[in-house]
Structure formats: C-alpha cells, structure tokens
Structure 1
Amino acid sequence: MPPSEDSPATSQPADPDTVILSDVLGSDRSIHIFAGFTRDFAQISQRFEDSSLNTTILAPVNSAIMALPRKPWEDPEDYDKLGGEAYEGKDGEDRASRNLRRFVEAHVVPASPWKEGDKLKTLAGGDIWWESKNGAKIIQPGNIEVSSVKSKVHNGEVWVLKGVRNYA
C-alpha cells in the first residue's frame, strides 16, 4: 500500500534501544482516551514514532475528556447547519474525523524541550505557551494546569493536563 498523502516523507525510525513517544504514550491509563484518539491519525502516530521530530504531547486526563460538554468529534456549528444527523453516513464520519483530528492537533506541540514563555503553534495552528504559577506549569491560553510530566524520552515529552485545551 503506498504511503498516504499526509505521511511524513522522511520518517526516521528510532534505534531499537531508544525509547520514543510512541512507546510511552499508551502506558499511562489516566490518559488512555487521548492516546487512543492519536492512533486514529497516521500522520500524528508517525510523528510520535519519528526519532528526529521532537514533540510535546499535552494529554488531557480521561476525566477531563469525559467531562466535556460535547464529544471531541462534535462541533455545535455542524449541528446548527445540519441538525441531528450531522454525523450520520460517510459525510458525517468524515466531519467527525476532521473535528477529532483538530482536537488531537490542539494538544500536540511540535517542539521539545519547550521553555517557559516560548510561544509556539500547536499542530492545529493555535499559539500556546506555558508559565509557572505557584509551583505548577500552566498552559496558556486557558489556564490549564499540568498535573505531571509523565515521560521524557528521546523525541519529546508527555505532559498530563488536568483540563482540555480549547479545540473549537
């Protein structure tokens, strides 16, 4: 099967002894919902497998995703335009996939290490930075607390968030 159009042209597999993001992302049960979402998109999964592409993954805890007022693949504008069948059929599935990808990409920063105050763009394109407040890392915009930096590996870090970034 030929590579998809959105697959990186020069993916660099890691040395078999090198631990990379794809090795550790699924190991923490508190973020397994988000980890599962990332596997739905080849370009994102390939980024996590590429030892030459440093990345900071901002993984919301399961409870933050479950507490959302809507599912990550839903967009109120879709319902406004298309009604209750917004996610029915092939067009609806495609729409939901695009929305879910936007959600995931809003939580992926294509840099690591990431210094405090450095404004970067997520894969979704929005500006983002972090700052220290009362001894905690806080993601801006949004005032989202980082509960921990779960993993530091060859090609990046996994930061566990107590909340969800605005993905609309």
Structure 2
Amino acid sequence: MRLQLCSILALPLLLQAFASQGEQIVMDTPVAHQSMKPTLADLLTIEASTSIFYSYARELQLSEMFTAAGTTAATLLVPTNKAVMALARKPHQGPAPVDDGIVITDEEFDSQSKEHVERWVSAHIIPQSPISFDQTYPTLLEGKSISFTQSSKKGDANAPDWSKVVIGDNIHIIGMREASNGILYLIDGAISSD
C-alpha cells in the first residue's frame, strides 16, 4: 500500500523531470477511442429496462452480432421488461403444449426451450440498419417480417419518425439508441414468433 502511494506521488515528479530534459511525454487518449459509439451489446447492458430481453439473447450464438463492430449493422426491436412480463407465455415456454400424454426428458425440454428463445429473439432482429418506416423488413426468424404503419394518434409534428409508427397491431416504439453496429428501438410489446 505504501509503495503504491509513493508511486502515485512520484509519477508527476518523474514526468516533470523527463519533460525538463527536452523530451515530451504525451498522455492523451487517442481521438478515435473518445468518439466511438457503443455497440448494441453495450447499449443492452446499460439499458436497465431491457435486461430480460438481453438475458435471453446473450445465451444464444446470434448475440455475437451485438458485440461485433464493423459487421453488418442490425436493427433491434427490444421489448421492455414490462412488455416481457406481460406475456401470457414467456419466450422460453413457446406455444401452449398439446396434452397428448407424451412425456419428454429434461434434455428435450431444455433443447425445446432454447429453440423457443432463439425463435423469439430472432423475431426482434432486422438484419440491416438503418431502416425506413414505410417498408416491410424480414427478421432473422425465417418467414417473419415486420411492417410499420403510421400511428393514428396525433403527436408532435417535430417528433422523430420512429415515434409515429406502430408495429403489427399495437406495438409502439418508445425509445431509440444508436450504436456503432446498428440501432436499438425500445418497444412496448413483444413481437410474436408464431
């Protein structure tokens, strides 16, 4: 502890001694690091209202695209925790089971749960960014597309475009965050993977 304290106190004196000998020491952070935007993974980590979605997503291999800057940009439509909690069946549960008397093993149950989660998370990812709100986009879930329609509620004319659309029947975009590898839209509902 004493040695660390002495080192901390001596560092400015050493730097001044080197500087007085005609050598210049630059202790600046490169500009590139200061202006970098966070990745989608960074945004999901710090956005507390999306922790349930991210806890599902980070267990999947496709979540690697959230951390990879410089890859194909993605648009995430991320349900808030409140929206996920309001679901009658949680993402890992999938559709209501058919009571056919068949008993599955724990391994089969785990495998099915992972498949349900992957389908659900994939339905919330558009593999391009930025997007326009007058088109339909395919998601990572095969056969699932997302359409945007203009909201019927009157709002501020100066409000951003994303705040004026509805996804599906009644899902609204309530926030937007830009990342180095895409855009994250916070939504007040969950997109069906059926």
Amino acid at match of 1:21: L
Say whether 1:96 aligns with 2:113: yes
1:93 & 1:139 partners in 2: Cα distance? 34
User: Which amino acid is 1:144 matched to?
Assistant: I
Q: Distance in 1 between matches of 2:101 and 2:189?
A: 28
Give SS of 2:186's match. strand
Give, as a single letter, the amino acid of the residue that structure 1 aligns with 2:47: D
The 1-side partners of 2:86 and 2:186 are apart by 16
2:124 touches 2:191 (CA, 8 Å); kept in 1? yes
Task: Give the corresponding residue for 1:31.
Answer: 50
Bigger strand share: 1
What is the aligned partner in structure 1 of residue 174 from structure 2? 147
- Name the Cα RMSD after superposition: 2.2
| Inter-partner Cα distance in structure 2 for 1:90 and 1:62 | 28
Report the Cα distance in structure 2 between the residues aligned to 1:141 and 1:64, rounded to whole angstroms.
Answer: 15
Structure with max Cα Rg = 2
SS of the aligned residue for 2:98 comes to: helix
Could you tell me how far apart the structure 2 residues matched to 1:146 and 1:108 are?
Answer: 14
Query: 1:141 offset after TM fit, Å?
Result: 2.3
Count of residues in correspondence between the two structures: 150
User: 1:97-112 maps to which residues of 2 (within 5 A)?
Assistant: 97-112=114-129
Q: TM-score, normalised by structure 2?
A: 0.69
**8 Å Cα contact 1:128/1:139 also seen in 2:** no
CA deviations on 1:109-149 (whole Å, 9 max, x unpaired) are: 11111111121111113111223323434343233101111
**Which 4+ stretches in 1 moved above 6 angstroms?**
none
> 2-side partners of 1:67 and 1:74: how far apart?
14
**Match of 2:183, as an amino acid?**
E
CA distance in structure 2 between the aligned counterparts of 1:84 and 1:26, rounded to whole angstroms: 40
Q: How far has the Cα of 1:82 moved from its partner?
A: 5.5
List alignment gaps of at least 5 residues for structure 2.
1-31, 156-162
Structure 2 counterpart of 1:160, one-letter code: L
2:154 equivalent to 1:127: no
Give me the whole-angstrom Cα distance separating, in 1, the residues matched to 2:178 and 2:101. Answer: 44
Structure-1-length-normalised TM-score: 0.79
> What residue in structure 1 maps to residue 130 of structure 2?
113
